[in-house]
Amino acid sequence: MTDVDFTSLFKTERLVFRAIADDAADREFIADGVLGDPQSLGTGIEQLLRPLNKMAIDELLSLVVSKVLLGVMICLPGEEEEDEDVKDDEPLSDETASKLAEKKREKEKRMKTQPWKKPKPIPIGLLLVGFNNAPWEAHIRDVTFSIGIAVPWQNKGYGFESLNWALDWTFRVANMHRASIEVLGWNPRGYHLYKKLGFVEEGRMRKKMYYNLQWYDRIQLGMLREEWEVLRGLRTSESLTDNSL
């Protein structure tokens, strides 16, 4: 018997994931950084496109805290506070030397007394994994993903990295049977991202969403546990079964 390593459970190569805090800071980030941007709003929700007020944000957070299986902030790892920029060839003033020495003592003390404390992560997005069935259908073990990345961190691969982690968490940790995600026809970048992750298109509701004198499809994609196992090299594609009509 060997010990199980949980050290990388809530992180990837570039990201860390923490619980959503029901506080002013996370509310402000979600309201302004994610849902406050028109582009993020348009690609992320299916309701009438209009600015969300405080009540709508509060309802969303209440839903996240109480209903979803997993709700996390997508974060960049925090960085240790850097020392003041001091050139090697310049003598230190007494004041600067005293400040640097004090900071060093404080850091050493913190490492001894609170070694578990790490730099505070920097939120860049929101990731939700929610049940896709009514309570009496819980045995189906189907979840749906929702994700939003704030504009300054879009187009950097963080969405792919976050959803890839979410897939691993869904099947390795939560023991789900399938994962689903929806995308609107006006978001081809999102569609290609989900296909790249390995999601399979399962159906469309034709001309379901309206914007700027045009109708767009709502597209449903899904991934089965055995398909994820093939992607991770845990089984061969030849072992997959097809029970379709």
Give the C-alpha separation, 43 to 184, whole Å.
Answer: 7
CA distances from 76 to 30, 50, 156, 243 (A): 16, 29, 12, 42
pLDDT of residue 47: 75
pLDDT band, residue 81 (cuts 50/70/90): very low
pLDDT band, residue 113 (cuts 50/70/90): low
- How many C-beta neighbours within 10 Å does residue 101 have? 11
pLDDT of residue 88: 47
Domains and CATH numbers, the chain: 16-77+117-239 (3.40.630.30)
Above 90 in pLDDT, residue 215? yes
Query: pLDDT digit string (tens) for 96-107?
Result: 777 777 777 776
Query: pLDDT digit string (tens) for 179-206?
Result: 999 999 999 999 999 999 999 999 999 9
Above 70 in pLDDT, residue 95? yes
Give the C-alpha separation, 14 to 153, whole Å.
Answer: 12
CB 148 within 8 A of CB 34: yes
Query: pLDDT digit string (tens) for 25-61?
Result: 888 888 888 887 887 777 777 778 888 777 877 777 7
Above 60 in pLDDT, residue 82? no
Q: What is the mean pLDDT of residues 73-87?
A: 66
pLDDT band, residue 90 (cuts 50/70/90): low
Q: CB-hemisphere CA count at 13 Å for 209?
A: 20
pLDDT band, residue 116 (cuts 50/70/90): low
Query: pLDDT digit string (tens) for 137-156?
Result: 778 788 999 999 998 999 99
pLDDT band, residue 4 (cuts 50/70/90): confident
Query: How much of the chain is in helix, strand and coil states, percent to nearest 5?
Result: 40, 25, 35
CB 106 within 8 A of CB 83: no
Query: pLDDT digit string (tens) for 151-177?
Result: 899 999 999 999 999 999 999 999 999
Closest alpha carbon to 76 in 15, 120, 147, 19: 15
Give the C-alpha separation, 41 to 211, whole Å.
Answer: 13
